């Protein structure tokens, strides 16, 4: 089996999972700036190809797209794939080390909370959902 073919398939499925859940892919630094500087609330899901992204983070992200209170925008960047867009998004996450998968909630361009990889890996999707629900309840309409 060709490893690159396999990885492309995994990457495409990971992208499709987020698009199907209603997240807008940000592919360039300019798209990141436009989304993250906008007024209101934005959830950024830092996607990746690791198992905890596929088994925990993406299912939690999909669930949150249907939560009663939700951000004005649901967006995603793909670590290791869309490197410039991911690097730009991480510039907004002041005080947090690069982490993927992860979630960041911003309000009016300012980081309000982060769910880092260590809070995802080894946990159940419901535990990630509960952290996101608390943040949505606090910061979203």
- Catalytically annotated residues: 50, 52
How far out from the chain centre does Cα 63 lie? 13
Distance CA 7, CA 9 (A): 5
Tokens standing for residue 108: 């009016």
């Amino acid at each position: 089996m060709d490893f690159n073919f396999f990885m492309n398939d995994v990457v495409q499925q990971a992208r499709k999972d987020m698009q199907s859940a209603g997240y807008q892919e940000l592919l360039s630094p300019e798209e990141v700036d436009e989304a993250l500087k906008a007024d209101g609330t934005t959830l950024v899901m830092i996607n990746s190809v690791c198992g905890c992204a596929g088994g925990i983070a993406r299912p939690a992200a999909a669930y949150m797209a249907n939560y009663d209170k939700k951000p004005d925008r649901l967006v995603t960047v793909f670590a290791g794939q869309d490197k410039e867009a991911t690097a730009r998004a991480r510039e907004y996450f002041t005080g947090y080390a690069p982490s993927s998968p992860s979630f960041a909630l911003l309000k009016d361009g300012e980081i309000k909370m982060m769910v880092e990889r260590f809070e995802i890996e080894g946990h159940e999707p419901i535990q990630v959902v509960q952290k996101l629900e608390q943040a949505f309840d606090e910061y979203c309409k």
